[in-house]
Amino acid sequence: MATLGLSESEREALARFEADVVNPSMASLVLLDFWADRSAASKQLSPVLEKIAEDYAGKGVKLVKIDVDADKFLAAQFQIKTIPTVYAFFQGQPIADLTNYRTEGQLTRVIDELLKQLKIEGEGAAQAAEIEPLLAMAEQILAEGDASRAAQFFQQIRDLAPDNAPAIGGLIRALTAAGERDVAQVLLDSLSPDLAAQAPVAQARAAFEVAAAAPAVDTSELEARLAANADDHDACFELAGARMAGGDRDAAADALLDLIARDREWNEGAARKRLLQLIEAQGLEDPWARAQRRRLSALLFT
């Protein structure tokens, strides 16, 4: 836009536009919303755009709003005739007119396509790439049995990325394995519903609940009770818990499946619920977990 002959206020408007739109668009996708308070359509669309901008902030999307009544100069420069009017800006240029997209689903589909075509990844993707090897290292430490050290490592990762679900889930699992269940419980209780629902955290919660429900005990008495009475469901259920506490997930699953086979409705389906909890604690994509789901399905549906 030419600046020759412009007033001071018009020059200031151009400077704001460059700072708020042009410069960020060099690395991000800027959604430019020309709106007005008098427009009912603007009032309907604004919350949708704001939610999308919040959800996509880590993917390199930024929302800039221009009130056409307060900034008539910029509105005139873009020849705005319809309110609202929404453009997508990249590298200083409008690359798409999004005005006709009014629902969240319509907008996210076109934004996803633009991000893909423009190869914009945003800070979230860069941070994820940075911490991925750190998460792998922490998981290896936990797998090797040093739960306390793994918890420290996961906490350091969480300090870098407070809302990273794999880091939070790993920290909960490490704290649980280290015997710090009170600390793990406080962390679980502090999470937002959105974070708590994410798969790595849900898996960690299942592992925590399995550990809390399965104290390590001497199994000889339980085994003797079952030897005397194979239908002692309480003993079978307690034995499965003891096997879980001892780290023998195969024996725990076998005991629970045997109980389900004998009486699947016992104690309101407690054995099935506990087995599903154990499967979730391993991770739904874990080969062992998939195998146990197949065994359970075969038992329930044949």
Q: Return the exposure string of 188-227: e unless at least 16 CB atoms fall within 10 Å of the residue's CB, then b.
A: beebeeebbebebbbbbbbbbbbbeebeeeebeebeebbe
Helix or strand (DSSP H, E) at 131: helix 122-143
Q: Got the DSSP string for 60-113?
A: TEEEEEEETTT-HHHHHHTT--SSSEEEEEETTEEEEE-TT--SHHHHHHHHHH
Residues of the chain above pLDDT 90, percent: 70
What average pLDDT does the segment 17-31 reach? 93
Please write the tens of the pLDDT for every residue from 122-167: 655 556 677 889 999 999 999 898 999 999 999 999 998 888 999 9
95-113 pLDDT per residue, tens: 999 999 989 999 999 999 9
pTM given for the model: 0.54
